[in-house]
Each structure stands twice: as structure tokens, then as C-alpha cells.
Amino acid sequence: MTSLTTHVLDQASGLPGRNIAVDILKLEAGRRIALGTVSTNSDGRTDAPLLTKAEPGTYELVFHIGAYFQAQGLSLTEPAFLDEVVIRFGLSDSHAHYHVPLLVSPYGYSAYRGS
């Protein structure tokens, strides 16, 4: 089965994104099905894979970035330019490991398929 991991790097500080809530969802028949919520650790990673037996399909990770930057004491606009960063992606290989890193600042982000 497919496994899924992530990590977050705060580009504004150059440090791992700590204590960021991440929702995991699967899309099926036009519905978004919640699979769980985790938080990043002191290294900006989760303590365990997000999914260890994922079936091929379309998924979303929702990173709660606005709350993270507010907790860092940054002065943000109201509403914040970025509040939730949603990464929608497909898992097609039923035997592969997928890693979805997020590089983020209060005004931009980048995501890619890592290794």
C-alpha cells in the first residue's frame, strides 16, 4: 500500500514549522472525507506517516498556516493573506511512498513531491 508523509519549513524564519495542524482528507464522488488531523513536531514533521495504507486516489492536506504565524507573534493583515493552505494531489502508485513538503511564509508557499 501507498504511504504518505509531509514536513513544513517556515521560509520567513528558516526554521521547521512547529505545531502546525494538518488535516488529511480523501476525495470520493465529489465529497471530502476527513481521515484525521495531526500536528507537526519540533522538526516540522509528523511523528508518524499521515497514511500507511492509502489507496490510489485524490487527497488533500490542509495546513493551518494562519494560526501558526499568529502563534509566532507575527503581525498579519486581517484577514491573513494565507490562512489555510490546501494541497490537492493524486496518489497513483499503490506501492510508492509519497512525501509532500510545504515551504511557507505569510505571503506565499511552494509544495512539491519529495522523496
Amino acid sitting at position 77: T
Residue range(s) defining the domain that contains residue 63: 2-111
Q: Total domain count for the chain?
A: 1
Angle at 21 between CA 16 and CA 22, to 5 degrees: 95
**Neighbouring C-beta atoms of residue 63, cutoff 10 Å:** 26
Cell numbers placing 25? 482528507
Q: What CATH number did the domain enclosing 61 receive?
A: 2.60.40.180
pLDDT at 66: 95
pLDDT at 77: 87
Residue 25: pLDDT over 90? yes
Task: Kindly give the residue spans of alpha helices, DSSP state H, lying in 31-99.
Answer: 65-71
Please give the average per-residue pLDDT across 2-14, as a whole number.
95
Asked whether the beta carbons of 105 and 10 are under 8 A apart, the reply is: yes
CA distances from 98 to 33, 87, 108 (A): 19, 13, 23
pLDDT at 75: 85
- pLDDT band (50, 70, 90) for residue 35: very high
